[in-house]
Amino acid sequence: MKVILLDRDGTAIVDPPDLRVDKLDKIELFPDSIEGLKYLADNDFAVILITNQAGIEEGRLTEEEFWQIHKEVLRQLEPSGVKFLKTYMNGEKKRPDNTDWRKPGPKMLLQAAEEFGLDLSQVYMVGDAQTDIQAAINAGCKGGILVETATGEEVVSPDAVYSAPTLLDAAKYIVAYS
């Protein structure tokens, strides 16, 4: 089984206009979220989610609320058939060295590598922000793939190994180049 590291908000699901998925009714999939993840599953890829949650730091949602909402996110993505191995979320307040944990810091990615025995030089990280791409570089990933699905201003990343219009395009690149 192969693995990718995947950002959640703005990548697997839509980032709401206020950029905070802090209510159940703010969960929205992209038109090709399921198809993109299914393409990965069909090609023997599993997914590890790596998500920054600034809303927790800001006190807009608790960690308990996050996990409750996240459970519903996973339920909605379930029809893709992809296996989500684990979700790493930067629980900001509990860690003394937050900046390493919060993307672009590499700690969540490095912890995933340790827990699942991954050789990150063979693993792509996919996200909609420069912080995702930089985290991939900082952790020594095979590369960061930008999906051009961020809410708000268009994101351009010269550091990305590939810029994909959608998650499905990113999935096709990953399968082709792994």
Cite the active site residues.
7, 9
H or E element at residue 124: strand 124-127
> Between 117 and 167, whose beta carbon lies closer to Mg ion?
167
> Between 18 and 42, whose beta carbon lies closer to Mg ion?
18
Does 22 sit near Mg ion (CB under 5 A)? no
Q: How far apart are CA 88 and CA 67, in angstroms?
A: 11
x-marked contacts with Mg ion along 125-144 as a string, rule CB under 5 A: ---xx---------------
**Considering only 26-34, 65-73, 99-107, 122-130, which stretch makes contact with Mg ion by CB under 5 A?**
122-130
Q: How far apart are CA 15 and CA 23, in angstroms?
A: 12
Does 169 sit near Mg ion (CB under 5 A)? no
Question: 3 — phi, psi (to 5°)?
Answer: -135, 145
Q: Say if CB 12 and CB 51 are below 8 A apart.
A: no
Does 32 sit near Mg ion (CB under 5 A)? no
Does 10 sit near Mg ion (CB under 5 A)? yes
**Cα→Cα distances 148→6, 55, 112, 168, Å:** 14, 22, 25, 11
Residue nearest Mg ion, Cβ-based: 10
Strand pairing class (162-164; 124-127): unpaired
Does 7 sit near Mg ion (CB under 5 A)? yes
Does 9 sit near Mg ion (CB under 5 A)? yes
Contact positions toward Mg ion, by CB under 5 A? 7, 9-10, 128-129
